[in-house]
Amino acid sequence: MSKQHPSTEIELCDASLDADGLVQVTWADGTDARFDTRWLRDNCPCSTCRVAQTEERRFFSGSLTSALTPKEIAVRAGTAEAGCIRVDWGDHRSEFTGSFLAAYRTLPPPRYEPRYWDATDVDDFPVAECDAVMNDDGALLRWLVDFRAWGVGRLVGVPAESEYVVRIIERFGHLRRLAFDRIHDVRVDPAGYNVAHTAEPLPPHADFPGYRWPPSLQLLHMLENPAGGGPWIAVDGWRLANELRAADPDGFRLLTEVWAPWRMFSADEETYARGPLVWLDDRGAVAGVRFSNQVMQPIELPAEELDAYYDAYTQYARAVVDPRNQAIIPNTSGDLLMTHAHRTFHGRQAFDPEAGPRWLQDGYAEFDDLDARITVLQRKLETP
């Protein structure tokens, strides 16, 4: 069960209805804000309007079909929680604490600040010992927080145990099963369904763009690679999208608006979806990118619109393969690379298939679960 609202109280000193019919609230520190009356009624925290055990809403928001005018608004001082406002609606009474209202003065701050990077930052990538992350919640939390900011992270000392990647995922989330395999075994395989199963270089890409919601976390566990060939490549796709946005705003907009088709398939499997290369959040910030030169299908735009699209697309694609943007991550047996797969593209350099065995397992999961695990761990470890 969660407490949605901050526990430190921020005291209110005044509340009244203004000329626009909005509730004007002033806090003891002199700041103020206005609240819509229907919004207030909708968010009444009382035990009639909400299920106390779960904090879920029992009150039916759909009953608020027209504007409300409170009968009376008063600051109620001297309660256990310092000043809160009491609103009398005629048929119901609501009380709101200063800290509850303060949390909704503006959009909430972003959950984290991305730390953008290029090829030169590879030595600063978050890295942890697998054993610490598996056995110590504090070490796990530190690694996850750093990973969330960077969109990339490494583990070393991972046991060469088949499907160990699932145990790592279960420390902070849930395995996401996708087409082809539960866990993707990557070895040189003459019957493989994609270029990963050859010794060829693998240009940076995101996996499974042929899903409408591609997997947002990818873990690459190198079980065997004693020769150390074929280092990983990682590219910060968000940084490149932001650079394109600055250099060519119209081209950037095209990449957010045009849906491209993506497909990967075998004799027994099929994945197909259409989606934009770049999508944005409600602040207009880049929230996701999707890129795979290998499996992007023919763009379906009218011929006269393709020039502009290719101008934008090729700028982005060339940035992805520019060595200045490619972090090269040496790998050997026991190394693991995790990517925020809606942000960071992965690839690998070519290797010599005769140099020794090379066995990789890929597991997928969702960033939302990792993000939520950070909240839960912080609640457990950082709350006094």
State how far the alpha carbon of 18 is from the alpha carbons of 70, 101, 153, 273, 375, in Å. Answer: 12, 17, 51, 50, 38
Shortest distance, position 58 Cβ to Zn ion, whole Å: 9
Residues that bind Fe ion (CB under 5 A): 207
Q: What is the dihedral of CA 81, 83, 89, 91, to 10 degrees?
A: 30
**Around Cβ 229, how many Cβ atoms within 10 Å?**
19
Shortest distance, position 4 Cβ to Zn ion, whole Å: 16
Shortest distance, position 108 Cβ to Zn ion, whole Å: 23
Helix 237-247 vs helix 249-257: crossing angle, to nearest 10: 130
**DSSP conformation class of 123:** G
Shortest distance, position 94 Cβ to Zn ion, whole Å: 5
Shortest distance, position 329 Cβ to Fe ion, whole Å: 14
Pick from Zn ion, Fe ion, none: which does 207 bind, CB < 5 to 8 A by kind?
Answer: Fe ion
Shortest distance, position 297 Cβ to Fe ion, whole Å: 17
Q: Which stretch binds Zn ion (CB under 5 A): 18-26, 49-57, 180-188, 312-320?
A: 49-57
SS (H, E, C) 206-244: CCCCCCCCCCCEEEEEEEECCCCCCCEEEEEHHHHHHHH
Task: Report which of 320, 270, 250, 256 is spatially closest to residue 291, judged by C-alpha positions.
Answer: 320
CA angle 361, 329, 148 (to 5 degrees): 75
Pick from Fe ion, Zn ion, none: which does 49 bind, CB < 5 to 8 A by kind?
Answer: Zn ion
Site string for Zn ion, 4-43 (x = CB under 5 A): ----------------------------------------
Question: In the window 306-345, what residues touch Zn ion (CB under 5 A)?
Answer: none
Pick from Zn ion, Fe ion, none: which does 79 bind, CB < 5 to 8 A by kind?
Answer: none
49 lies in the binding site for Zn ion (CB under 5 A) = yes
Q: How far is CA 261 from the centre of its chain?
A: 23
User: Which residue's Cβ lies closest to Fe ion?
Assistant: 207
Query: What is the binding site for Zn ion (CB under 5 A)?
Result: 44, 46, 48-49
